Amino acid sequence: MENPFKYSDNNKRYHTLDYYYKHKFNSKVFKVSLNASFTCPNIDGTKSSLGCIYCSKSGSGEFGGKKEDDLVLQFEKVKNMLLNKWPKAKYIGYFQARTNTYAPVSVLREKYEKILKLDDVVGLSIATRADCISNECLDYLEELNKRTFLTVELGLQTSNELTAEFINRCHSLKTFEDMVLKLRKRGINVVVHIINGLPYEDKEDMLNTVRYLNKLDIQGIKIHMLSVLKDTPLEEIYKKEKFHILTKDEYIDIVVSQLELLRSEIVIHRITGDPPKNLCIEPKWLIKKFCVLNDIDKEMKKRDTYQGKKM
């Protein structure tokens, strides 16, 4: 069966990040996760001290570098592991852990520029919250965007405001939407994080989140599966309430249905979760990442479907 999806040169029926980078840079490109020791208004008491209920103590930085290490050292450790296999690769510095615009611009400039100066770095990807980008920061991001390949990653997680309140996001859907507009007005690429399987959401809620995003001017999306991690508020809620955790088959069905609703040009930066084995309580099937990826491919072929088919 021939692959009908135009943004693919293999069996993938969705617009993968690998495909996008390869065609943009004519090279293998790796994102190098970094921990720049930022905090978050959701944990420092500015908005809350509890954090989002699913967030681990590392603040989504489990796969970033050690925050005790200098940023350049973090970067070089990853690059050196890849050099033998990919000697001509390019790199994007990924400021991943916690909220990476939550500091004075002078601090941001010092950290970002340190990575941009390194050999073979072609861009930056900055993970943050929609309520943590000041006008001064926007000006700096606009400047960066003229000098390098810049992506700003915004955590949304869900378009359901009741769920957002339950998970303690501490900002509104309007705040998110306004920031997308501000970033796009300055020509900055936006990638949005969503989470499938949030407590008490059903399939329609998850599809509605994608329908909502599909109407916005976004360039990429990261689809995560909710994972219950040790020592998080979510773990305590799960112990008490035993809310439904999506099975692998349910997750695959939802993801394929979401992809069908997304514009084909939106790049899929992530399509499953990647929890640390030593912290993951549920779902255990999520640990086998490549099995999930393969099963998504199989289901899309079985349905003879592709990203954007139901647009």
Among 160, 50, 43, 177, CA closest to 102: 43
Q: Which of 45-54, 139-148, 293-302 has the lowest mean pLDDT?
A: 45-54
Q: How far apart are the C-alpha atoms of 122 and 169, rounded to whole Å? A: 32
Helices (H) then strands (E): counts for the chain = 10, 9
pLDDT tens profile 11-68: 999 999 999 999 999 999 999 999 999 999 999 999 998 889 998 875 555 556 777 8
Residue type, 218: I
Q: How far apart are the C-alpha atoms of 210 and 271, rounded to whole Å? A: 13
Q: Residue 156 has what pLDDT?
A: 98
Among 101, 171, 175, CA closest to 142: 101
pLDDT tens profile 90-130: 999 999 999 999 999 999 999 999 999 999 999 999 999 99
Q: Is the peptide bond before 87 cis (omega within 30 degrees of 0)?
A: no
- Could you tell me if 283 and 239 are in contact, meaning their C-beta atoms sit under 8 angstroms apart? no
- The CA dihedral of 192, 26, 265, 123, to the nearest 10 degrees, is 20
Q: Residue 66 has what pLDDT?
A: 78
Q: Residue 309 has what pLDDT?
A: 97
| End-to-end CA separation in angstroms for the chain | 22
Q: Residue 60 has what pLDDT?
A: 54
Write the CA distances from 300 to 44, 203, 254, integer angstroms.
43, 18, 11
Q: Residue 269 has what pLDDT?
A: 98
Q: Residue 1 has what pLDDT?
A: 66
Q: Strand runs (DSSP E) across 62-171, as ranges?
A: 90-95, 121-128, 149-157
Q: Residue 64 has what pLDDT?
A: 62
Domain boundaries, the chain: 17-303
Q: Are strands 228-229 and 280-282 parallel, antiparallel or unpaired?
A: antiparallel
Average pLDDT of the residues in 144-171 = 97
In this structure, what token pair is assigned to residue 284? 């255990």
Among 43, 66, 60, 54, CA closest to 281: 54
The CATH-assigned architecture of domain 17-303 is: Alpha-Beta Barrel (3.20)
Q: How many residues does the chain have?
A: 311
pLDDT tens profile 218-256: 999 999 999 999 999 999 999 999 999 999 999 999 999
pLDDT tens profile 55-88: 887 555 555 677 789 999 999 999 999 998 999 9
Q: Are strands 189-196 and 149-157 parallel, antiparallel or unpaired?
A: parallel
In this structure, what token pair is assigned to residue 110? 């010092």
